[in-house]
Each structure stands twice: as C-alpha cells, then as structure tokens.
Structure 1
C-alpha cells in the first residue's frame, strides 16, 4: 500500500488549480502527491468564463476576451458597461494542457487513471481505495461531488444550473464578435428561470447555450429546440454544429465543509466552492485554491479550520430561497440587478469583494419585497 503526503480524489478544476499552485510555489518539492481520476483530461469537455479587472494568472491561456456584453429580457436589451472589467473565456483543453505541462516537470507529482471508490480518515492518516488499489496519505483533497448529501436534507435549497450548449458555425454572419450575450431572458420562462447565453467567436461562429436555474432537468430535446429557435430568430438558417456541451452545476448553500475532518478537506463543488447564486466556478476556485495552499503552508494545518463562512454565503442563501419557492422570479431579479447597465458593481459584489455599503446598493436594486420575505423566513430556519 503506497503512501503519499497528499492525494487528490478527482482531478477537476479545484484539484488541478490547487496542485498546480503547489507545484509552482516550489515549496512542496519534498512532498509526494497523487492525483486520481478516471478521466485523462485530454478532451475539450467544457468552457469556463469569468469576469476580471486587470491581468490575471491564467491570461496566457485565455481563448477570447470581451469588454462588454448584452443583457436582455422581454422588454429591452442593454449593452453592459464593464468599467474596466473583461469577460474572459478559457477552453477546458487549454487549461488541462497548461496544468499538466507544468506537472510533468515535477517528479514528485503522479497521476493515476482510476476511479476513487471510497476513503476514510483514521485520525493519523487517510486510506483511499481506487479501483483495486489502496493508498494512504497524510491529507486528502476530495472533489468528487455526492449529490445525495444536499438532497438528503431540506434546510438548504438545492437548485441546478443546467444547460446544453452548441458550438455552431453559420453560413452567414449573424453574431457580433465584440459583444457576447450574458443573459437573455426574452425566451419563454415556463415557470422557471431560463435564459440564452452566447459567446461569439466571430461573425459566423459562437457557443450558444440554453440555461436554467431550477430544481429539475429537462428532456434533451427541449434544450435543443430552444437553441434551434434562438438561432432561427438570429437569422441563422443554415449552420453546422461543431461541438456540444452539457452540464448540471449544483447551486446550494449546503454546508459541505462540516464534513471536513482533520485530514480530509472537500473542495470544488464537493466542498461548496461553486458560487451558489450564479453557478460560476472559475474565480471562486482560483481564490480558494490560493487560500488552501497557504493553509497547507501554515504550521500543523487542521483541515477543519480551512473553511470560513461569510455574509456572501447568506446573500446567496436568500436568493436560492426565493428561486426554490418562486423559480419564475429569476428573470425579474437579474433584470433589476442589471437595469442600469452598470455591470462593474454587480461583478464586484458577485466576486465577494465589496464593502457592506456597496453590497446594500446592489441589493437595493433588487425586488425588495421578495428579499424581505425571504429574510424573515430564513431567520426562523437557521
């Protein structure tokens, strides 16, 4: 049974970011590290987008950036003022290649192409079963999401950001390559929070997604019919589908961190690293992986002390409470948030970088009655 200092169960975004930062810090060269995942990460299986002001650590693999975006509902369309922010896009394959190119320079870091079956913390070390092999480690980072955990309780709502996206090439120019569609709520809501999302790569090429924030997934045909209708409305009568994406990202404030032990920390979606109110993951994972590496470098890091709950967790919880009870209100809430067209204060708020006064200004733009009712209901449930 081979022993490692650190094992990562699952090689998703959070795990790869963390182990990459451990590697480039040059402070873990004497530590043995094992990544375990059944996927060899050689396919372009996803796209990450995030807003950011100024240069970032991942700029060398940015595939496309935009200085503005369009927000729309059934009444109007607004070009957003980013005020210095950029909307950045990274392809999954570029991220994987970038990380693994670096990890190959570190012989102390290994990758096992296996599926983790189970793991347990004995107090002095962690045992991990993967395939037919067993390993032990001092610290385990688990990023394998177990949907049964949040679904087994009713104190914290559980929604999904679920979508199907098509990477399409049209015969005629129909897209504005300088302006993606951030959220278009002009599509029929059908009792849910539904919107179109489009990332134009040129006048004839874009990634177009039909996205919902709701509890239940749809039949595949319903997503695809919505995309077809949207392309028809743009005048894209003739096009080919280059690639497809589909996903379902958990949106919940369930306290995953309470399952951390002295030697096990849950990360990524399995640790509540997804931004609960939006489903965005990249920026949160970037910040939290920085903090996790710093935590490991502190003296005697107890994994139970890693998590820090803040007021933004409560803001997210109120929004999810509303959408869980009145899912059709999502369009009204996000429309109010972006009504002025000034996106920078909202981006700063969603990145959890605002002062309390700045937060109140953003929250005050939202439908007040909904949030006041949600606040009083939630106070009796905490």
Structure 2
C-alpha cells in the first residue's frame, strides 16, 4: 500500500485551490502528496462567477470582469456600479490547466485517476480505496460527496440546476461592460427561475438558465428555455452556439461535517456552498486559505464556523423554508432585496460579511410576518 503524508480526493475547484495554496507556501515540498480524481480535467465543464474587492490568487486566469451589474424583474430593473467590488468570471478549463501547471512543478505530488470506492479512518491515519488499489495517509482532504445527507426536521434539500450556452450573434446584442446578475423576466411556474448573462463582447456571451427547485429538467427543457429567452428577451434568432455547460448545486441547510478524525472536507462536501444562493467559489477560497494558514502554523487542518457567524446559516435556512413551502415567490424576495438595499450591501450580505446591524436593515425590507415565522421555525 502506497503511503503519503496527505491525500487530496477530488481535483475540482476545492481540491486544486487547496493544493495550490499549500504548495505555494513553500513549506510542504518535503511532504508526499497524492491528488486523486476519477478522470483528468480536460474540458470546460463549468464557469465560476464571483465578486471581490481585491485581486485574488486566481486573477491571472480571470476570463472577463465587470464593474457594473444589472438586475431585471417584471416590475423593476436597475443597473449598478458595484465599486469597490469587481464581478469576475473564470472558465473551468483555464482554472484546471493553471493549477495543474503549478502542481507539475512539484515532484513531491503524485496524480492518479481512479474511481474512489470508500474512505476510512484508522489508528494510523486514513485509507482511501479504489477498485485497483488502496492508499494510506496521515490526513486526507476530500471534496467528494460519497453519500447523500440524511435530513432532519426543518432541513431542506433544493437544487440549483442550470444549463448555459456561449453564443455568438450576428448583430451586436450585448453591452460588454455590464453583466446581468439575475433576470427574472421568465416563467416562474416551476420554481424560482432566472437567467444570467455574462457578455464577452457585443456579439458573444454566456447565457445561463437557472432554476431553484427539487426536480432536474431534461436537456431539451433547458434548451427550450434558453431559446425562448434569447429570442424574446435578447431579441435575436440569428446566433451560433459555441459551447455548452450544465450543472447541479445543492441548496441545503443540512450541516455538512467539516471533518471526521483524519479527514477534512472541502468545498460543497464541507458545507462551503451558500444555501440561499448556490455561490461556492469564494467560500472555497476562504476555507482553503484558512486551512493552509492553520497547517503553516502547525495547527490541525480544521476550520470551524465562529459562533456569531452561524447566524448566516440561520438566514439561509429561513429562505429555504420559505421557498420549499412556497410561502413567497423567490423572484419577489430577490427583487425586494435588490430594490430596497444598496447593491454593495447585498453583495456583502451574500458573502456572509455584513454586521448584525446591517443585516437587520437588509432583511427588514422583506415581508416581516412571513420571515419571522419561518425564522422561528428554524430555531426549533
């Protein structure tokens, strides 16, 4: 059995972010590290969009950025200057290639491709089993969900599922200086649904059709939604589809474990997907930075949520309660948030970085009776 100091299970956003940060400290080149995933990352299978104030470690591969965002609803629309934030987009293939190039410079890292059967703790650390062989390590970092969570009372598991097209239009349709964060001017009968538009030029953009509910659509249903949006909202039928992507993100207030003895969970598997929005990329960056900092200082690689910060989980659970039980339409909730608050406050709130006083101001624009009742239910 091959023995390593560390195993990173999953070569997606969380696993690669963590490993790159770990290696770039310069303090772990003597450690034997295994990076393992099912298959090589060779396609552009997703896109990450996020906002931040300062340049991040992945700024060299930001594909496009915007200083203005637009929000659309049938009864409200607005264009926002989001300074001091910048809205950024990273293509997955660029991310994979960038990280793997950095990793290739470290001979202490071994990369293997195999399907992971199961992972177990033992007295000497942890063992990862594949169909072909097993690997042991002092500690394992996993971003792979090996089993579905078992929900308790007042826990919900919705899905944010989406399909996107990169299209090129004959006519100049897009404003390349402004991205559409949410466009709710589409059918809401199947749950909270919106489109976001990331324009690269006047003729090219990523169009993503997104839903919050518990039922994944067929590919043709997404395609029909995209075609209808492009035709009726963007006003063009003359375009070519250059790329496609799709995905499913859990929106749940289930409390994913952060660790189990010699296993630390990363990304979605470690609870880093924000339950009310599906945003994950920046939460992964915060988590992996904190883990690496702990390891540099010889602390256990564990990141626990501070007590006062747990209130954000409560806010998210309250919204899921309302959406799951159809107490209010999702498009109405987001419209009220964006209409009645400063855009920078909303972005900071969605990043879990606001003060309690600011949160009270933000939340009180929403129907108080419904939200208070749902919030109290989530305390039981």
How far did residue 5 of structure 1 move? 0.6
| CA–CA separation in structure 1 for the residues paired with 2:297 and 2:253 | 27
Quickly say closer, same or farther: Cα 1:300–1:286, change in 2 above 3 A.
closer
Quickly say closer, same or farther: Cα 1:84–1:202, change in 2 above 3 A.
same
Whether 1:144 and 2:144 are equivalent positions in the alignment is yes
Aligned to 1:110: 110
Residues 66, 179 of structure 1: 8 Å contact kept = yes
Whether 1:297 and 2:296 are equivalent positions in the alignment is yes
Quickly say closer, same or farther: Cα 1:320–1:186, change in 2 above 3 A.
same
Matches within 5 A, 1:30-179: 30-146=30-146, 148-150=148-150, 152-179=151-178
Aligned to 1:15: 15
Residues 79, 341 of structure 1: 8 Å contact kept = no
| TM score, norm. by length of structure 1 | 0.94
The root-mean-square deviation of aligned C-alpha atoms, in Å, is: 1.6
Quickly say closer, same or farther: Cα 1:54–1:119, change in 2 above 3 A.
closer
Runs of 4+ in 1 over 6 A off after TM superposition: none
Aligned to 1:200: 199
Deviation string, structure 1 residues 119-163 (Cα, Å, up to 9, x no partner): 10013211111231111001011111246224x545410111100
Aligned to 1:181: 180
Residues 141, 266 of structure 1: 8 Å contact kept = yes
Aligned to 1:364: 364
Whether 1:255 and 2:255 are equivalent positions in the alignment is yes
Matches within 5 A, 1:237-316: 237-257=237-257, 260-299=259-298, 301=300, 305-308=302-305, 310-316=310-316
Deviation string, structure 1 residues 317-354 (Cα, Å, up to 9, x no partner): 11111111117621111101100473101111111121
How far did residue 178 of structure 1 move? 1.2
How far did residue 237 of structure 1 move? 1.3
Quickly say closer, same or farther: Cα 1:300–1:337, change in 2 above 3 A.
closer
| CA–CA separation in structure 2 for the residues paired with 1:222 and 1:178 | 30
Higher deviation after alignment, 321-330 or 98-107: 321-330
Residues 126, 137 of structure 1: 8 Å contact kept = yes
Instruction: Tell me the secondary structure at the aligned position of residue 352 of structure 2.
Output: coil
Higher deviation after alignment, 206-215 or 357-366: 357-366
| Count of aligned pairs | 376
Residues 78, 341 of structure 1: 8 Å contact kept = no
Deviation string, structure 1 residues 279-325 (Cα, Å, up to 9, x no partner): 01110000000011122234452x5x532252211111111111111
How far did residue 191 of structure 1 move? 4.6
Instruction: Tell me the secondary structure at the aligned position of residue 119 of structure 1.
Output: strand
Instruction: Tell me the secondary structure at the aligned position of residue 69 of structure 1.
Output: strand
Deviation string, structure 1 residues 218-265 (Cα, Å, up to 9, x no partner): 22222111110111122221111111011000111211116x222011
Quickly say closer, same or farther: Cα 1:216–1:146, change in 2 above 3 A.
farther
| CA–CA separation in structure 1 for the residues paired with 2:253 and 2:191 | 20
| CA–CA separation in structure 1 for the residues paired with 2:96 and 2:131 | 23
Return 5+ residue gaps in structure 2 as ranges.
none
| CA–CA separation in structure 2 for the residues paired with 1:53 and 1:200 | 21
How far did residue 216 of structure 1 move? 1.5
